[in-house]
Chains A and B, each alone.
Chain A
Amino acid sequence: MALAFSSCDGMFEGIYDEPVPEKQSEFGFKDITNVSATENTSAYSRGWLYVKTVDYTGWTYIDFESQMVGYAGVYDDYDGKWDIAIHRYEVKTNNGKTKRTAFSDFDNLLSQDHLEAGGYEADEWNEDRVAIDLSGILDYNVVFLPTYVSQVIDWVQVIYPPYPPTYKSHDKIFVIKLENGKRVAMRLENYVNNNGVKACLTIEYVYPFPLEEK
């Protein structure tokens, strides 16, 4: 009780954690391991990609070859090289095609002899998936960006109503055939940062994806 009197603004602050300060240097390509070719696989890089996509009004552009990350508004042109772009949890490819695998673990996937061939789908035109203005959400009045977007990559589903929305996620590996003919495989490890802020994506990737398709 004495504690209560002495602390007008509450007690037991020590049982909670402090938010971890966010550093710009945390984002981008990290912890990349270059793996040499083996009998079954060609050489590839395996690593992590951290991107913050909290903004509804822009795309985050990613180029796996140069390991560069860029940003542009939804109505702006992006003049850099890019393979995929992410808006919140939606992904569009640069003339790529995508398929979902049954694997959630890269070690397991890479230990396979081959990847089953086919099953890739190109991005599709969509007018109600990429939300860019949610100020009228309580009236079901959400402004969407008509755009090509991958219908296959569904690693996070945002379901609303109710408000705030509910989130469903999975960590299945997607393989994308890029415009340059190479493939990248990626899976979503997490969609919140250490402090619980949503739309901060932790993605594990393998590039170029080494398994042959049969």
Chain B
Amino acid sequence: MKHLLALIISLFVFEESHAQNADTLDVARNIDMDQVVVTATRTPRLLKAVPIVTRVIGNADIKRMDATNVGNLLESEMPGVEFTYAMNQQQQLNIQGFGGSSVLFLIDGERVAGETHDNVDYQRLNMGNVARIEIVKGAASSLYGSQAIGGVINIISQDAFKPWSVNVNARVGTIGSQRYGASVGTRSGRIRNTFNVLREKNNSIVLPRDGVFEEIYANNTWNFKDRLKYNPTENLTFTARASYFFREMESSKVIFNRYRDFSGGLKGEMKIAEGRNFELSYSYDQYDKSDYTLASRLDIRDYSNVQHSVRGLYNHTFVGKHTLTVGGDYMRDYLLTYQFANGGSFYQHTADVFAQFEWTLPKDWQIVGGTRFDYYSDTKLKHVSSKISFMKKMNSISLRGYYAGGFKAPSLKELYTSWNMQNMFMIYGNPQLKPEVSSNFSASAEYQHSNVNMLLNLFHNTVTNRISLIWSQLHNGMLYDNVNKVYISGLDASLSTRWANGLGGKVAYTYTRESVPNGEPLVTSTRPHMASLRIDYDRQWQLYGINASLTGKFFSATDAGEYTANTGFKEVEAIHYSAYTMWKLIVNQRICNAISVTATIDNLFNYIPEYFHTSSPATIGRTYSIGISMDIEELPFLDFFFVMRALSKK
């Protein structure tokens, strides 16, 4: 009886301590400036001390949003981000004037292979076992090379911290959407392993009004990933990872489009001495597309992008405050595609070296300078990207200034395409393409005090030699070519807060202005004003917690330019994209810190576009979903079971 009483007391004490932890975390969540980020400087830095504005979407936000892939999450959490459907219903991204080919997506710092219409397959970037997402807006080619013109988005995986953990989760929605996932984490001695599987199924959706699409195709997705860490000594860590992704899109009654990705990697990290770290990594990523013909049951591959990458990175901190980062990458990039003549293939080698120095000066000044040299074997392209930034801290205010060069090397597709698009017209690559380059200036002020965070960021980009697909009279077809200069300017402003009574919120606004030199056509669908609002209430009691959040996104109207004639592509006409707002209500209940039930009403005010443009949200109106997530190791009866077993052994 005494033992039973002790057990019950221990359970309550245990629960209370958990509750306190959760509460503390929740209060700090919106404004946790003490978390470590790595993307902005390629060295671990506290968020409050990072010299380049970095936005973080943490694990708690991912759970609260019950997000499945990175698209859902970015659009919900960040204004200025819009995902729309490109041709063939692949998702395409626009972040304040920069499309998918100008934003670099990384998984644990590694590039992602494959693209469709210049965008990576966002559905493979699933949110299972993700610790956080770091977003650095603006050019970052001095550290990350090609494609980092508009920003870098780095998805950081979660480690296993407990001896064992098992999570199972499921979500079903009113339009036939289903998601099932499981994660298993183990930690024993010097070995940690995390395994995650996610299955997602979306039925086809017939859109309720006219538009460029009549229906959104059904999709079936499988995603597996595993990460093993081994620490033979305190100063040495080896990481091995492998993942597999499969998606099938039911694009017609006779052919399904299939997408697969196989990736793996090995990484060794060594702490040579205090303030001196070295890492060496190898990464493999293969993204394939195939068409599965239902009648013949033949699954024929017509696209494969295979990237082998090797990277070395060395950090040296001098006198405890100045950090030198040097590194280099080598990549072999292989592309086989139906868009090359006779379905052929090309490959190229790329190599780069980079260096960055962070000076920490008296009176809370910090200056970072960096440069990177990139070489592309196929075009003999040599390019140097540089950056310089400063940060000055004054009590609760941080001022930051930033100049960075961005560049995007012509891809193999842009160089060598020779494709008769469904017997309609030819699309040609252009071996004479020059790299797209940009100059990015930004200045920001951030106020952080207690439970309030405010940010104002102004930016300007000049992008030259933009690579675009245009009509060529000479070729009598579409041709990849360098086009006119584009200026992209704007601002980001945000205010977030959280109070001890559980109330919190965030309001954010972005303004973007794109312009071109006089006389040139401006073809853009970037909405100039976007905003987001979140109001939430979060409380944790001993055995029960609740988070209720109302989020809204506002997209202003815009007149997108579309070319009207194929005689030189000089004339454009304006297609009006209406303004709209989308609201979502999410109620998340946590029971015993082990079970989480999330009910969601999406498109709360039942918005349906008058006409479904490619930039319209693919919605049929208000939808409902409910999800459950269970951390098995946290279930109270397990504690009871383990204690009883221990007692019985005595």
> Across the interface, do B332 and A8 meet the contact criterion of CB distance under 8 Å?
yes
Closest chain B CB from A84 CB (angstroms): 22
> Across the interface, do A16 and B290 meet the contact criterion of CB distance under 8 Å?
yes
- A-B residue pairs, 7 tightest by C-beta: A194-B296, A134-B424, A135-B425, A4-B284, A16-B301, A10-B306, A17-B298
B483 contacts A by Cβ under 8 Å = no
Given the known interface contacts A4-B264, A11-B262, A136-B566, the answer about A162 and B478 at a Cβ–Cβ threshold of 8 Å is no
Neighbour of B423 across the interface among A1, A54, A202, CB < 8 A: A54
Closest chain B CB from A90 CB (angstroms): 15
Q: Interface readout for B283-313 with A: 1 if CB under 8 Å, 0 if not? A: 0101010110101101111001010100000
CA distance A163 to B478 in the complex (A): 14
B252 contacts A by Cβ under 8 Å = yes
> Across the interface, do A10 and B295 meet the contact criterion of CB distance under 8 Å?
no
A10 partner residues in chain B, CB cutoff 8 A: 286, 288, 304, 306, 334, 336
Neighbour of A16 across the interface among B296, B299, B477, B565, CB < 8 A: B299
Can you report 18 A-B residue pairs in the complex whose CB atoms are below 8 A from each other?
A: A1-B240, A1-B284, A16-B288, A16-B299, A17-B298, A20-B296, A134-B425, A135-B424, A136-B425, A139-B565, A161-B212, A163-B87, A167-B252, A168-B253, A192-B293, A193-B296, A195-B300, A196-B298
Closest residue of chain A to B256 (Cβ to Cβ) is: A196
Closest residue of chain A to B266 (Cβ to Cβ) is: A1
B422 partner residues in chain A, CB cutoff 8 A: 164-165, 198
CA distance A20 to B15 in the complex (A): 63
A107 contacts B by Cβ under 8 Å = no
A79 contacts B by Cβ under 8 Å = no
User: Which residues 405-456 in B have Cβ within 8 Å of A in the complex?
Assistant: 421-426
B624 contacts A by Cβ under 8 Å = no
CA distance A194 to B564 in the complex (A): 38
> Across the interface, do B566 and A162 meet the contact criterion of CB distance under 8 Å?
no
Closest chain A CB from B219 CB (angstroms): 15
Closest chain A CB from B494 CB (angstroms): 35
Closest chain A CB from B568 CB (angstroms): 11
Count contacts between A and B, CB distance < 8 Å: 127
Q: Interface readout for A153-167 with B: 1 if CB under 8 Å, 0 if not? A: 000000101111111
A55 contacts B by Cβ under 8 Å = yes
B188 contacts A by Cβ under 8 Å = no
A11 partner residues in chain B, CB cutoff 8 A: 262, 286
CA distance A164 to B86 in the complex (A): 10
Given the known interface contacts A55-B423, A138-B566, the answer about A9 and B334 at a Cβ–Cβ threshold of 8 Å is yes
Kindly state the interface size class of chain A when it binds its partner.
35 or more
A-B contact sample (16 more), CB < 8 A, given A8-B332, A9-B306, A195-B298: A4-B308, A9-B334, A9-B345, A10-B306, A10-B336, A17-B299, A56-B423, A134-B423, A135-B476, A135-B477, A136-B425, A163-B421, A167-B254, A191-B254, A195-B293, A198-B422
> Across the interface, do A9 and B299 meet the contact criterion of CB distance under 8 Å?
no
User: Which residues 231-245 in B have Cβ within 8 Å of A in the complex?
Assistant: 240
> Across the interface, do A190 and B425 meet the contact criterion of CB distance under 8 Å?
no
> Across the interface, do A169 and B254 meet the contact criterion of CB distance under 8 Å?
yes
Scoring A5, A56, A167, A192 by chain B CB atoms within 10 A of each residue's CB, the highest score goes to A192
Q: Interface readout for B208-236 with A: 1 if CB under 8 Å, 0 if not? A: 00001110000000000000000000000
> Across the interface, do A192 and B308 meet the contact criterion of CB distance under 8 Å?
no
CA distance A1 to B242 in the complex (A): 9
Chain A residues in contact with chain B, CB under 8 A?
A: 1, 4-5, 8-13, 15-20, 54-56, 134-139, 141, 159, 161-169, 189-196, 198-199, 202
Closest chain B CB from A188 CB (angstroms): 10
> Across the interface, do A18 and B300 meet the contact criterion of CB distance under 8 Å?
yes
A161 partner residues in chain B, CB cutoff 8 A: 212
Closest chain B CB from A5 CB (angstroms): 8
> Across the interface, do A164 and B255 meet the contact criterion of CB distance under 8 Å?
no
Closest chain B CB from A105 CB (angstroms): 17
Closest chain B CB from A12 CB (angstroms): 6
Neighbour of A196 across the interface among B87, B293, B334, CB < 8 A: B293
B614 contacts A by Cβ under 8 Å = yes
B213 partner residues in chain A, CB cutoff 8 A: 162, 166
> Across the interface, do A164 and B87 meet the contact criterion of CB distance under 8 Å?
yes
B164 contacts A by Cβ under 8 Å = no
CA distance A166 to B476 in the complex (A): 25
> Across the interface, do B300 and A8 meet the contact criterion of CB distance under 8 Å?
no
> Across the interface, do A9 and B336 meet the contact criterion of CB distance under 8 Å?
yes
CA distance A138 to B206 in the complex (A): 24
A165 partner residues in chain B, CB cutoff 8 A: 422
Scoring A4, A134, A165, A196 by chain B CB atoms within 10 A of each residue's CB, the highest score goes to A196
B537 contacts A by Cβ under 8 Å = no
Closest residue of chain A to B295 (Cβ to Cβ) is: A190
B499 contacts A by Cβ under 8 Å = no
A192 partner residues in chain B, CB cutoff 8 A: 254-255, 293, 295
CA distance A135 to B566 in the complex (A): 9
CA distance A20 to B282 in the complex (A): 37
CA distance A199 to B424 in the complex (A): 13
A163 partner residues in chain B, CB cutoff 8 A: 87, 421
CA distance A134 to B420 in the complex (A): 11
B563 contacts A by Cβ under 8 Å = yes
Closest residue of chain B to A55 (Cβ to Cβ) is: B423
Closest residue of chain A to B291 (Cβ to Cβ) is: A196
CA distance A196 to B301 in the complex (A): 11
Neighbour of A12 across the interface among B262, B293, B334, B425, CB < 8 A: B262
A166 partner residues in chain B, CB cutoff 8 A: 213-214, 251-252
Closest residue of chain B to A163 (Cβ to Cβ) is: B87
> Across the interface, do A17 and B300 meet the contact criterion of CB distance under 8 Å?
yes
User: Which residues 132-165 in B have Cβ within 8 Å of A in the complex?
Assistant: none
Neighbour of B298 across the interface among A20, A167, A168, CB < 8 A: A20
